[in-house]
Amino acid sequence: MKRRHLLLGLGAAGLGAAAWLKPSDLGAPYSNAFSTLNQMLRSQGAGKPQLLIDLDALDHNIAALKQILKPQATLRLVEKSLPSLDLLAYIRERTGSNALMSFHWPFLRQSAERFAQSDILLGKPMPAQACAQFYQRPLRSAFNPEQQLTWLIDTPERLQEYLAIAQAHSTKLRIAIELDVGLHRGGVRDLQQLTALLTIFQAHPQHLALTGLMGYDAHVGKVPSLISTREQSYQQACALYRQAIDQIQQHAPSQLAQQPIFNGAGSPTIALHRDNSPCNDLSAGSCLLLPSDFDLATLQGFKPAAFIAAPILKTLPHTEIPGLERLAGGLAAWDPQWQQAHFIYGGHWLADPWQPQGVTANPLYGHSSNQMLYNASKRSALAVNDHVFLRPRQSESVLLQFGDLLAVRNGQIVAQWPVLSENA
Ligand SMILES: Cc1ncc(COP(=O)(O)O)c(C=O)c1O
């Protein structure tokens, strides 16, 4: 009798635990906005995965960025994170920013040709070959590198290589020094290294102009707070930056440009750079499209503005895993998300399902760049030729994979924007 009670008790507890563990149905139909987009793409889409830029969300993010930008600081748009000249033009017009940060010489050429009045700072120290390559062919625009372009330098060796290029082309290169303000991705780490660079500038004023400094602080807010709080690592980065400015002002004041560029920040930290920041020039790009890696406390007011729309090629009323076909019914009964299988056109991007709600990648089936399987419950109501909308985790490489970007507003395509090209 006691044994039977025990078994019944255990059975009931097991059922209770199973009910508790059983995944609930997360599926839902498209939101209104994505339902409209889906209908529009069903009739006007290109029949392939496409990248949408939601202009209303982008406008919202431009306003949010203006709100957090340190007054008087130059906003420098990060070209690699917004890799389309038309997208950049749209944002330049609405922010009034004329400054760009470039990371790739084919992109640099295209930006310098389209935005002939812009001021461009390199965001990484390019191999001297890239610098030489840039000067080999004249630009098809009035952009004047001697006044508008600043290269980035991290070591005396690289500075010597750039000096040789300046001498060979009888030109003067504008150069900023990369500072390591705690990220440890390179750049000058101490005042001795800085002095070694300043000495080279002082010896070659006809070929090298010191434009300023660049210190990227992406580590701020990412160090575990037990080791250093966001505020502490931000303050440390600022202190290192100030020391470097003081050192230049003491040892090579005449070398420094009249209006120096003291660049810093990026989307994750731009909100922190207020009056207490030593920087007068602040970079941001990704926050304007808010891919999911940028869901950060410092960017709370921003909205996702870029989405992949991938057509569904096949919809099956079950998910069969090769070798486990017999489990198909059981798996769908256990987890409502397995009720339907949707094979999309393409896949395996740095992106996660966004709309309709409850679409999930299958953990057993594996990834495919050709026809990726996504699961969803019947409540998602997806069918062949509908679209799965995915939210990129980052913008830079993802935006380059779909041909022209589709700029959409109120569910309609209002422009098609080519992306930057490798061939420039
Ligand atoms: C030097 C530098 N500045 C700024 C940024 C910030 O770019 P975003 O605002 O797109 O994150 C980056 C990103 O890689 C960077 O390398």
Residue 71: give its domain's CATH number.
3.20.20.10
Q: Note whether 223 and 341 are same-domain residues.
A: no
Asked if residue 113 belongs to a domain, the reply is yes
- CA–centroid distance, 73 to ligand 1, in Å, is 16
Asked if residue 218 belongs to a domain, the reply is yes
Pocket of ligand 1 (CB under 6 A): 78, 81, 101, 123, 216, 266-267, 283-287
Q: Model pTM?
A: 0.94
Residue 7 is predicted with a pLDDT of 54
Q: Note whether 396 and 249 are same-domain residues.
A: no
Q: Of 376, 218, 355, which is closest to residue 294 (Cα–Cα)? A: 218
Q: Note whether 66 and 45 are same-domain residues.
A: no
Residue 383: give its domain's CATH number.
2.40.37
Using left for φ > 0, alpha for ψ between -120 and 50, and beta otherwise, residue 155 falls in beta
Two tokens, residue 313? 């090629």
Residue 1 is predicted with a pLDDT of 46
Asked if residue 19 belongs to a domain, the reply is no
Integer angstrom CA distances of residue 336 from 8, 29, 94, 366, 384: 28, 14, 45, 19, 19
181, 229 Cβ separation under 8 angstroms: no
Q: Note whether 314 and 405 are same-domain residues.
A: yes
Q: Which atom of ligand 1 is nearest to the CA of 124?
A: 1
* Structural domain that includes position 375: 26-50+304-417
- CA–centroid distance, 102 to ligand 1, in Å, is 10
**Domain count of the fold of the chain:** 2
Max Cα distance, the chain (Å): 100
Low-confidence ranges of the chain (pLDDT < 50): 1
Angle formed by the axes of helices 230-251 and 191-203, nearest 10°: 30
Pocket test for ligand 1, best of 68, 81, 241 (most atoms within 8 A of CB): 81
Asked if residue 229 belongs to a domain, the reply is yes
Q: Note whether 89 and 228 are same-domain residues.
A: yes
Q: In the listed set 288, 314, 333, which residue is the last one of a domain according to the structure?
A: 288
Q: Which atom of ligand 1 is nearest to the CA of 283?
A: 4
- CA–centroid distance, 272 to ligand 1, in Å, is 15
Q: Note whether 109 and 198 are same-domain residues.
A: yes
Asked if residue 13 belongs to a domain, the reply is no
Asked if residue 271 belongs to a domain, the reply is yes
Q: Note whether 76 and 184 are same-domain residues.
A: yes
Q: Note whether 98 and 196 are same-domain residues.
A: yes
Q: Note whether 164 and 225 are same-domain residues.
A: yes
